[in-house]
Structure 1
């Protein structure tokens, strides 16, 4: 769990960001429709208020499985406050003209809980500007290169990855690139278990591609003890599919199904022994790392942002 100070700080920052949105939204003139994109919950409440003031339809875009994550993460310390927040979020979802989700499973949960108009528009990547990776550079070692590139938070459960690396340190090198609320704790944990993890700071642009060229397999991980993650698909999956990277998928539900359907990696649970066994097999038989263009083809067919954008525009036009 996060330290209370970090939880409080994040909540306060989200509330401040939401408060700053309100005057900006109200000064823009009367819109045709109000869209509230929700990774941060205050955005939903601000969107609801603005839509009510202007008497315009509200689209609530749920990019995470709220309010289920409130319960799973135990981000609120009092049970009564958790119940109230859950009710408040669901009530706005029920009153919205449309709730847009990024996964089919979460759409089904909302529908079963009384949200009448739910549409699914999945995440994706831009295929218009897509550039495949160059040929990887000449290898200078024989170890399997494992890369995790992304947020170092509570949601990923990366302790399993760190502990797994200690089981196969003679044949596997793990690199973790990123930052987040759990970074310091993960670094201390790696030191405590004597894991030879290579931690690196976040990067952008060509430096990201350099990390991908280094990697033999890329980790996508969501902790398994939060039920809402059965209906969560990290957007990183679409990027890795398009690049033709082999994925070590430490995920369940829809995320695991996408990796399997695209034939672009292996699914494993959070047991460090099982993760280590997978990496050991991949290291011994590198043919299993060759996923070809199946993932790229899957993305172009089902996760092109250009196609998804057209679908979203059509949805908005139907409302207004």
Structure 2
């Protein structure tokens, strides 16, 4: 079977969409299928093309057996609704044109969060008379309203109309959460064609590691109890909550446990510069900012953490998402403090891999940090539960689940 996959994120980018697509496609190639990925020059999240690449009209490469076609797009940083929309629209056009020249395909997959990629996938499937699979990773444009990038107006309603059109035209919708599936059913989409394949983790890359002492020394974390956030610093993540928690810990000068805690924020995004400026204004000496690192280096930086902080703004839309970093924490054996309500919090509680706290509540975050720093027995229980739960979310098994759906619709 020849699978054509359209996505605007792919390695060497290190965000969740890029990792999921690559790890699934790699497994499908291992099983003897041919996979062609149409994508952009890697540039997320800074909007700067990675070293070794150019934003050219057309370029080819092979990545672990996956044929990758990269096309020109309007590239901009991950900030600003209008510019980002132009970015999406340009890939819709150039990705579609490039995909037209891919021969002998059996199925077309388009992935969100934004649906312009799926517009190209649907049109291509219609022209080539092949099944169309919509991989649903985010409810866009609902998420635009959630992060405050745009208020509800006629443009949003028009986009929502296109969104529903694509769900209806898809032969199959593969959602990453059960909440997304319920959302679509409530909006009139046929439940029989909606399948759920959650995010997971590549257990060959993410596994327990001793703290990298040399790295810890180089970033000033030697001897500290380290809690960290690793991922995009965007509008949705409300990382100001972590800075407020750091300030509260720093104010407890007579508490030796609080004085030992350090917060690490690794990644990039639209809010990174603002967060760094705010931390400087607050004179936070217990916060370390680190830039995005190459994909192969990510586990090494995870090894610095005693606790992983997962956080999103408090909003009903985010009760439907499951941050993929939760599964990486499990595989690394790193307990979590989880500031996201809804389906992902249910996983944390069911698997007993950490503690939940109210989103955007810095005091609750401080309480969680201090309790885990002081209670080694509870910490060890969470760590053991992480390692026990991780195999349930093995990316190879989940890739097989998705492949079964694709093979069925291709037949």
Query: What is the TM-score of this pair, normalised by structure 1?
Result: 0.91
CA distance in structure 2 between the partners assigned to 1:178 and 1:4 by the alignment: 13
* 1:162 matches 2:255: no
Quote the Cα distance in structure 1 between the aligned partners of 2:298 and 2:170: 38
Structure 1 residues 133-190: Cα deviation after superposition (integer angstroms, max 9, x where no partner) = 2333679866431111111111111110111111112342111111111111111222
Matched, 1:311 2:387: no
Instruction: Determine if the alignment matches structure 1 residue 294 to structure 2 residue 385.
Output: yes
Call closer, same or farther: CA 1:28–1:265 in 2, change over 3 Å.
same
1:216, 1:289 within 8 Å by CA — same for their partners in 2? no
Match of 2:210 in 1: 135
The alignment partner of 1:180 has SS state of: coil
Query: Residue 274 in 1 paired to residue 355 in 2?
Result: no
SS where residue 294 of structure 2 aligns? coil
* Counterpart for residue 98 of structure 2: 24
Q: Which runs of 5+ in 1 are unaligned?
A: none
Larger deviation, residues 92-101 vs 6-15: 6-15
- The whole-number CA distance in structure 2 between the counterparts of 1:260 and 1:275 is 16
Find the counterpart in structure 2 of residue 252 from structure 1: 341
Indicate conservation of the 8 Å contact 2:335/2:386, yes or no: no
Of 127, 133, 158, which residue of structure 2 is paired with 1:53? Answer: 127
Matches of 1:99 and 1:67 in 2, distance apart?
A: 17
Q: Which residue of 2 aligns with 1:97?
A: 171
Matched, 1:188 2:188: no
Among 140, 148, 152, the alignment partner of 2:233 is: 152
- Is 1:7 aligned with 2:81? yes
Secondary structure of 2:103's counterpart equals coil
TM-score by length of 2: 0.72
Alpha-carbon distance in structure 1 between the residues aligned to 2:274 and 2:211 = 32
| Residues 184 and 84 of structure 1, relative CA distance in 2, 3 Å threshold | same
What SS does the corresponding residue of 1:168 show, helix, strand or coil? helix
SS at match of 1:75: coil
